[in-house]
Structure 1
Amino acid sequence: MEDFSNETIDTLALPQYEDAELTPLHPSYLYIIGLNIALVFGFIAVGAGFGFYFIEELRSYWLYITLGYAGLLVATGLLYYISFRNKGFAFRTHDVIYRTGAIGTTTSIIPYSRVQHVAEHESLIARWLGLASVEIFTAGGSGGDITIPGLEKIHAIAIKQLLIGKIENKANEENKVHEFDPAEDISGNETPVENNPADEV
């Protein structure tokens, strides 16, 4: 019998996920970000234009509204650009790392054993730019799911195939573990053994 041991682990000596080199998003994804911002602020500008036209009281505040609009546009564009620069991902032997955030960053580390499903998405603009996104569904529910956008199409396909292979390998291993004994029925109960009348006294 082996001696029981419960030694202290030096957490500083453990491998650090920060050492992993993350792959940035494709530069063309900036066009999609810019287009989304332009659409949102375009609608705001149209709404403000109607407001100035139909509400005479607003016209005296046009300078303040314009400056506020311009400041909000610049701040939004800057935050989205910082978020784009901070995003990155890495696929390691046993897990996937994904970092996101603008002012503060969040790093998600998902073991392949938790991955249940993977989907590839393309918008019309993304398809035109040759980009796609990969959504990874985990056993932890929606809170643990991640979506990696701004991937080159060929890269997204490779990631999807990698994860599908991991899912299939996990399913095969689980099937081997759950193979039932021939002496048991499908419900998991032991098959009753009939007594031989000759054995009864």
Structure 2
Amino acid sequence: MQEFTNDPIDIEALPNYEQAQLKTLHPKYWNVVMIHIGIFLFLLAAGIAALVVFNSEAKQHIILFSALYIVLAVLLIALNRADISRRGFAVRDKDIIYRNGVIALTTTIVPFSRIQHIALHEGLFARMFGLAALNIFTAGGSSGSLHIPGIEIGEARRIKEMLMKQITKTEE
């Protein structure tokens, strides 16, 4: 019978993921986000307008509604801008790293051996700007899966092909 051992690991010897050079999302992705925000704000404005037109009590509060609408629009734009500027990804020899978040930064590292499936998603507006999103599904379920938007379509296809080759190597 083999003897069980569980030796400690020297934490200082582990590779430092923070030194990886992360690639930012394509600058055109901001256009896609602004289109989505614009559509949302247009629908919200239409709803507020309908409320004010069809509800006589709401007409008294039109200044309040307008002020709240402007504050919401500014917050949406500012938070999305901050979020996009902090996002980044890197493909390394054995894994892929993705960082996102505004208030709390989240860094997800997915080893190639955990990847089950990779999908390339081209939304309507993203496709207009030549962009795509990589969806990387892992064996661990949704908690380890990645969705990386705002990648130039040609680069996204190359990354997908490279990851597919890595998955095939791992399975062999």
**TM bin (shorter chain):** over 0.9
Instruction: Work out the CA distance in 2 between the residues paired with 1:25 and 1:45.
Output: 30
Percentage of matched positions with identical amino acids:
40
After superposition, the C-alpha distances for 1:36-79 in whole angstroms (9 at most, x for unaligned) are 00111110100000111010111111111111110011011111
Helix, strand or coil at the partner of 1:24: coil
After superposition, the C-alpha distances for 1:157-188 in whole angstroms (9 at most, x for unaligned) are 1110011101111222xxxxxxxxxxxxxxxx
Greater percentage in strand: 2
Distance 1:128 1:7, change over 3 A: same
Instruction: Work out the CA distance in 2 between the residues paired with 1:171 and 1:7.
Output: 29
| AA matched with 2:69 | Y
Helix, strand or coil at the partner of 2:148: strand
**CA shift at 1:5, angstroms?**
8.7
Give 1 or 2 for the bigger CA radius of gyration.
1
Instruction: Work out the CA distance in 2 between the residues paired with 1:8 and 1:122.
Output: 45
Structure 1: unaligned runs, 5 residues or longer:
173-201
Aligned positions, number = 169
Aligned alpha-carbon RMSD (Å): 1.5
**CA shift at 1:14, angstroms?**
2.7
TM-score, normalisation: structure 2:
0.93
Instruction: Work out the CA distance in 2 between the residues paired with 1:8 and 1:137.
Output: 31
Structure 1 segments, 4+ long, off by >2 Å, are 4-10, 12-15
Instruction: Compare relative contact order (CA 8 Å, sep 6+) and give the higher one, 1 or 2.
Output: 2
**What's the counterpart of residue 151 of structure 1?**
151
Structure 2: unaligned runs, 5 residues or longer:
none
**What's the counterpart of residue 178 of structure 1?**
none
